[in-house]
Amino acid sequence: MSRVIAIANQKGGVGKTTSAVNLAAGLADQDKKVLVVDLDPQVSLTLCMGFREPDKLDHSITEVISAVVNDDELPEGFGIIRVRDNLDLLPSNINLSAAEVSLVNAMSRELVLRTYMEQIRSQYDYVLIDCMPSLGILTVNAHACADSVLVPVQAAYLPVKGLQQLIKTTYTVKRRLNNNLSIEGILFTMVDRRTVYAKEIVSEVNEVYGKSIPIFPIEIPMSVRASETSQMAKTIYDYDPKGKAASAYSELTREVLEHGC
Ligand code: ADP
Ligand code: MG
């Protein structure tokens, strides 16, 4: 059975895309068939996967959304690029912003991505959706078609208020659109355990949410090597296989595998 995980936090720069790339690669290395969907017009995931000129790609999530809105039939595998064994990408491009605006008047606008996901999910063990930093209609679409939401939280600023908003959205979507939705877990990213601040934030989030929401035991450490992977378009396992970020992402992969399916 396939599992669809939305990676979401309306704050930018918290490690959503980095986590999508490395969790996807980790799952693919464990012989799972994985699709990653770039649902951000800033195209970071598409770039990180090595596609330097997203506007030159023939198709993207933008055309997929338009096709569903227009009730057009999509050819099999439309827009999907094979990145390597077990790992496919549905890229994004800048026009996704316009597609988001066009959704406003679409019928069942919150369920457009779900209609698509129902067509393709059986081909994969995992589909990871890298959301944009907002709680707009595309992020709601991701929630409406996902089995769970993975929430990266950067342990470097006070995240509690933002988290409340995100969790409220998740539960609203669950109640109104997608009964199956759960929270996969809060994932602390860019954790620098040498700072008092990071420790305080981790313990505050644990205190406020620990009883009601799963929190991944593994934390992703702050790592210069990890920050370099985005520019190098490499996974952390290829770029710094023996580093602490690579072993943290391997552990995250194990934890996600244990949760699911
Ligand atoms: P988001 O998708 O939430 O906007 P990104 O994954 O793009 O966040 O990460 C934001 C920035 O932080 C990027 O420049 C990325 O390279 C960097 N980064 C991600 N993870 C780490 C980490 N563990 N340590 C240090 N820098 C990181
Ligand atoms: Mg991103």
Closest of 102, 166, 107, 106 to residue 140, by C-alpha = 166
4-24 pLDDT, tens digit per residue, is 999 999 999 999 999 999 999
In whole angstroms, give the CA distance from residue 42 to residue 142. Answer: 16
Q: Which residues of 159-185 are buried (b: 16+ CB within 10 A; e: fewer)?
A: beebbeebbebbeebbeebbeebebbb
221-257 pLDDT, tens digit per residue, is 999 999 999 889 999 999 999 999 999 999 999 999 9
What spacing in Å lies between the alpha carbon of 17 and ligand 2's midpoint?
Answer: 4
Residue 261 has pLDDT above 60, yes or no: no
Phi, psi for 204 (deg, rounded to 5): -65, -45
- Which residue(s) pair with 185 in the sheet? 150
121-166 pLDDT, tens digit per residue, is 999 999 999 999 999 999 999 999 999 999 999 987 776 778 999 9
pLDDT averaged over every residue in the chain:
94
Q: Which of 31-35, 53-57, 248-252 has the lowest mean pLDDT?
A: 53-57
Phi, psi for 2 (deg, rounded to 5): -85, 160
What spacing in Å lies between the alpha carbon of 157 and ligand 1's midpoint?
Answer: 14
- Whole-model pTM? 0.97
207: enclosing H helix or E strand: helix 196-209
Would the CB of 15 count as within 6 Å of ligand 1? yes
What spacing in Å lies between the alpha carbon of 37 and ligand 2's midpoint?
Answer: 11
Contact 70, 102 (CB under 8 A): no
Q: Which of 227, 231, 240 to mutate to test the pocket of ligand 1 (most atoms within 8 A of CB)?
A: 227
Contact 239, 25 (CB under 8 A): no
Compute the average pLDDT of residues 204-233. Answer: 94
